[in-house]
């Protein structure tokens, strides 16, 4: 049996200003099937995503946009 290696990636998010923003981003990114853990840093403006394998930027960007925010370029 083969298992994918766990990966951790951090993305910069623009527009988060409060705890409600953090919750929205955490919920939407956490709903991505490959994601096993999400950590959002309001002060740093980042979301750190852990998954059972690589989680691509486009998928995270779409989830962040559904939460009402954008990934920084």
Mean pLDDT, consecutive 10-residue segments, the chain of 73 residues?
A: 75 97 98 96 97 91 98 92
Domain-wise residue ranges, the chain: 19-71
pLDDT value at residue 49: 97
Q: What is the CATH number of domain 19-71?
A: 3.30.70.100
Report pLDDT for 25.
98
Question: How many residues make up the chain in this entry?
Answer: 73
pLDDT of residue 2: 46
Regarding pTM above 0.85, the answer is yes
């Amino acid at each position: 049996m083969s298992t994918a290696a766990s990966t951790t990636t951090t993305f910069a998010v623009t527009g988060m200003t409060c705890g409600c923003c953090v919750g929205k981003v955490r919920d939407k990114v956490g709903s991505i099937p490959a994601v096993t853990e999400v950590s959002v840093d309001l002060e740093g403006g980042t979301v750190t995503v852990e998954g059972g394998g690589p989680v691509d930027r486009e998928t995270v960007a779409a989830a962040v946009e559904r939460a009402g925010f954008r990934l920084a370029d």
